[in-house]
Structure 1
Amino acid sequence: MKVKEIIICPSCKSDQLDVQDKQLTCNSCGDRYDNIQGKPFLLAKESDIRDSFRKILKNKVEQKTKEMSFNNYFPSPRIWSKKSLRLLNKLIKENDPRKGKKLLNMGSGSEKVYENLYREIDNDIIRIGLPHKGKIDIYGDAMNMPIKSESIDLAVSSSVFEHIKDPELAASELGRICKKGGEIYVEIPFLRGYHMEPIDYQRYTISGIEELFKRHGFELIEKGVCSGTFNALILIWLDFVRSISPPGFKKISRFFFSWTTHPFKYLDRLFENTKWNNYLACNFYYHGKKIETNSTEKVS
């Protein structure tokens, strides 16, 4: 029910969708969409990623399950700053979907931090994204979200924007789907190795994040370091070790070095308010509010 209330056709933006067990049909433009694994696959026909991701979904379910099981043996890749965790707890409490709010998670949300944050409201969150490790309710493209305009109270995104081909379109879509006065919380890497190749396109500085969302109808409430310098250095070191390891030893070396270096990531908690942490952070966070303008207008 939570999905049916907000989904639209990604081609014509109509909410006249006839939802069946295995297929959805738009009664406005006639386009049809699959229900894959019980979830609507709402990517427009003209999308250049539609066919490739549908193939991944249909052919690699077993492999995906094995990878998820293997990853459970590793520590969390990142440690979140105390500021970012306090803010996330506050935003989720204020936008509790059990009290009528619409909380959208854009992307994975599969990190252990988010699993814990969402534990009590797990069945009430709306999750949209493409094939990934976490739970999903709607398969959709961040650059053309099949979500009703001005329907979302809070949109959360963690380490997704670096994998979006056109982040300007994705930021614009967040501006479209958020209610006036609605909020976003977005985490984007600054210092990270190339990952999820070849779908890894950009990084952002702390000032770059603010300007990105300012251009699309949001005003800054708070920004800061989500994961700091020690996280960045350790993850780059782990990427280097894994890259130079022989094929048969990549998983073993990753397992060993992940656990032996993990405690040092907590050093960021001691230095999260330092100036140099803003220059060398692993991930930044941005908390913004949709201002009282048309989301399609460029904000000066």
Structure 2
Amino acid sequence: MLQPTYTELLACPSCKSPLEAQGQRYVCQNEACQGMYPIQGGIPVLISEDNEIFSQQDFAREQDIYFRTYKSRLMQVLQKVQPDVSTNLSAARNYRFLARELASRKGLRILVIGGSIDGYGIGELKQNLPADALLVEADVSYGPNTKMIFDSHQIPFRDETFDLVVAQAVLEHVLDPFVCVAEMHRVLKTGGMVYAETPFMQQVHGGRYDFHRFTHLGHRRLFRHFVQVESGIVSGAGSALAWALKYVVTSFARNKKMDKVLSYSAPFLFFWVKYLDLLIGRTRGSLDSACGYFFMGRKEPGYVLSDKELLASYKGLRGNVN
């Protein structure tokens, strides 16, 4: 069962009314709704009946929805030794900044969306949290960190609940990222912070759950209701090239078995290309060719970035610029 203080923060995914724990389920207290949400192995499954993508039955037992997990020791070793084709130039530094920024807040509450496994660098935040901090790691997949199952289009928490919301490598996998970001804004306290990393130049890696990519300005507009603290490159042009080379190889696959072999082998051939990111750095020229971007922002009442301000903020070298 969840901590009492945790339960008091929950809201019905459908109507946002309070939830009440009744045995191994949560029940909406709105008589017109009366949504019911099971608790599976201590993990609340807060998926509404009107959700068209996921159902509560999908999570009736632990199974792979997005991430592929292996119980075989050999497969775990093979997965561990496979090199990554991306660098991450920013996450560790950004998480250290967030840890310092939030350190003085009493009763700190953090929501990590897509948190079933640790994102790159997030240990810099998690290892420096106050002892009384509440960390909610949620996903639409079971994993070692999963504390709750929900769809980020319908975040099941009350308004103004969290001091920080994190969405690292998440927003490319949701149907409507603008709805999800609006939900993040809703559940953040005034003055609360958001941190997101999202790809620009990456091929499909989430199968059927892979929908969107964003330029630097496109990413900024997604978070236009937040005051920007900082934004920039997560992975640069070297990582983008390594991804492209990997997928040139996997393009030869004619069936799933062949794709598995090529997908596993290709990173060993091209992982070194990502280190061009370290040589290039965060130049203006790299801003339009990056593999992915981050945004860090703060919720302030009434703030909206205008499209005129958005266009004026362009820092790349394409088009008619100085």
TM-score (structure 2 length as normaliser):
0.80
- Residue in structure 1 matched with residue 146 of structure 2 by the alignment: 136
State the Cα distance separating 1:28 from its structure 2 match: 2.9
Instruction: Name the SS for the 2:175 alignment partner.
Output: coil
Q: Is the 8 A contact 2:107 2:134 kept in 1?
A: no
State the Cα distance separating 1:159 from its structure 2 match: 1.3
Instruction: Name the SS for the 1:125 alignment partner.
Output: strand
| Pair 132,160 (structure 1): closer, same or farther in 2 beyond 3 Å | farther
Q: Is the 8 A contact 1:224 1:284 kept in 2?
A: yes
State the Cα distance separating 1:118 from its structure 2 match: 5.0
Q: Which moved more, 1:251-260 or 1:34-43?
A: 251-260
| Pair 174,72 (structure 1): closer, same or farther in 2 beyond 3 Å | same
* Letter paired with 1:45: E
1:38 to 37, 42, 50: 42
2:243 to 217, 228, 235: 235
Q: Is the 8 A contact 1:95 1:102 kept in 2?
A: no
Distance in 1 (CA, whole Å) between partners of 2:292 and 2:163 is 24
2:109 to 93, 102, 110: 102
Superposed, 1:2-81 pairs within 5 Å as: 3-20=6-23, 22-29=24-31, 30-51=34-55, 54-55=57-58, 58=61, 60=63, 64-66=68-70, 69=76, 71-81=79-89
State the Cα distance separating 1:115 from its structure 2 match: 5.6
Q: Which moved more, 1:179-188 or 1:68-77?
A: 68-77
State the Cα distance separating 1:299 from its structure 2 match: 5.9
Distance in 1 (CA, whole Å) between partners of 2:68 and 2:91 is 30
Distance in 1 (CA, whole Å) between partners of 2:152 and 2:85 is 24
| Pair 252,272 (structure 1): closer, same or farther in 2 beyond 3 Å | same
Instruction: Name the SS for the 1:185 alignment partner.
Output: strand
Distance in 2 (CA, whole Å) between partners of 1:200 and 1:234 is 19
Deviations 1:142-188 (A, max 9, x none): 11100121111111111111111111111110110111011111111
Distance in 1 (CA, whole Å) between partners of 2:291 and 2:140 is 24
- Residue in structure 2 matched with residue 200 of structure 1 by the alignment: 210
Q: Which runs of 5+ in 2 are unaligned?
A: 307-322
Question: Does residue 276 of the first structure (1) align with residue 278 of the second (2)?
Answer: no
Distance in 1 (CA, whole Å) between partners of 2:192 and 2:79 is 34
Question: Does residue 90 of the first structure (1) align with residue 97 of the second (2)?
Answer: yes
Instruction: Name the SS for the 2:301 alignment partner.
Output: coil
Instruction: Name the SS for the 1:281 alignment partner.
Output: coil
Question: Does residue 288 of the first structure (1) align with residue 297 of the second (2)?
Answer: yes
TM-score (structure 1 length as normaliser):
0.85
State the Cα distance separating 1:16 from its structure 2 match: 3.4
Structure with greater helix share of residues: 1
Instruction: Name the SS for the 2:81 alignment partner.
Output: coil
State the Cα distance separating 1:132 from its structure 2 match: 5.5
Distance in 2 (CA, whole Å) between partners of 1:77 and 1:39 is 33
Q: Which protein has the larger Cα radius of gyration, Structure 1 or Structure 2?
A: 2
What percent of counterpart residues are identical?
A: 25
Instruction: Name the SS for the 1:235 alignment partner.
Output: helix
Distance in 2 (CA, whole Å) between partners of 1:133 and 1:46 is 25
| Pair 248,264 (structure 1): closer, same or farther in 2 beyond 3 Å | same
Say what the alpha-carbon RMSD is for the aligned residues: 2.9
- Residue in structure 1 matched with residue 315 of structure 2 by the alignment: none
Q: Which runs of 5+ in 1 are unaligned?
A: none
- Residue in structure 2 matched with residue 183 of structure 1 by the alignment: 193
